[in-house]
Amino acid sequence: MEEKWINHYSSRHQMLLVGEGDFSFAASLATAFGNASNIVATSLDSQVMLLRKYPTEAANVCLLKDKGCTVIHGIDATTMSQHPSLMHLKFDRIVFNYPHAGFTRNEQDSYQISLHKEVVRGFLRNGREMLTRRGEIHVTHKTSYPFTEWGIEELGREVGLVLTEKAAFSISDYPGYENKRGGEGSSCRSSDTFPARLSTTF
């Protein structure tokens, strides 16, 4: 089968996508590749919860399954390496776009930031155990305040990872991808998008 690429990702990479919302990022990759048998796409929420949050989720998951993707719900990024469906698998690319601990306090609040950092730290620690020999972990994150306070690079160093590249992220590179807030805030819904400008993939 001919190798196909979309930005950093190849149809020959064994890929794990973490923290999918409406699965539109996974669907974008699957459409570009023409086949998704190399992709495992996961969400923290159950399928029932996702259907309540995202009107587009069902169609995206249907597309993914038609293209051979493995879709798993209820995967916690901070413990995923011990999940029975994942613990024996290795991946060339493990991707978490816009990790978030949920809305507890204002984004500038130090406690809220500490919660976000714990999610990212746990994800990186688990992801490291699930990589192939030349595998990479990708975290896409905003690089404006207060998100710079998360210290993504330092969190990677803490768990023994080495930063190889920082690439500007453009959502237009992934046709059909719509980032989602994922949780209810005082003035937003789970299905709302948010500005993806000033974002970097580490």
Q: Is 184's pLDDT higher than 90?
A: no
**The pLDDT of residue 185:** 46
**The pLDDT of residue 181:** 59
Q: Rounded distance, CA 193 to CA 143, Å?
A: 17
> Is 89 a domain residue?
yes
pLDDT tens profile 132-148: 999 999 999 999 899 99
CA dihedral (5, 9, 14, 20) positive or negative: negative
For the chain, the 3-state helix, strand and coil shares in percent, each to the nearest 5, are: 30, 20, 50
**The pLDDT of residue 180:** 66
Least confident of 10-19, 29-38, 43-52, 158-167: 43-52
Under a CB-based contact definition with an 8 Å cutoff, are residues 72 and 42 in contact?
yes
**The pLDDT of residue 186:** 45
Task: Copy the structure tokens of residue 26.
Answer: 């996974």
Percent of the chain with pLDDT over 90: 79
**The pLDDT of residue 193:** 53
Alpha-carbon distances, residue 18 vs 40, 69, 121 (angstroms): 9, 14, 14
Q: Is 8's pLDDT higher than 70?
A: yes
> Is 6 a domain residue?
no
Q: What is the domain extent for residue 152? A: 11-179+193-201
Under a CB-based contact definition with an 8 Å cutoff, are residues 51 and 58 in contact?
yes
> Is 143 a domain residue?
yes
Q: Is 183's pLDDT higher than 60?
A: no
Under a CB-based contact definition with an 8 Å cutoff, are residues 10 and 87 in contact?
no
Among 173, 178, 184, 27, smallest CA distance to 100 is for: 184
Q: Rounded distance, CA 26 to CA 155, Å?
A: 25
> Is 187 a domain residue?
no
For the chain, give the mean pLDDT. 91
**The pLDDT of residue 188:** 44
Average pLDDT score over residue span 92-101? 95
> Is 3 a domain residue?
no
Model confidence at 62, in pLDDT bands (50, 70, 90)?
very high
Buried b (16+ CB within 10 A) or exposed e, 104-116: eeeeeeeebbeeb
Considering its fold, how many domains does the chain have in total? 1
φ and ψ of 67, to 5 deg: -95, 10
The pTM is what? Answer: 0.91
The angle subtended at Cα 21 by Cα 20 and Cα 22, nearest 5°, is 110
> Is 38 a domain residue?
yes
> Is 161 a domain residue?
yes
Which CATH number fits the domain that encloses residue 141? Answer: 3.40.50.150
> Is 134 a domain residue?
yes
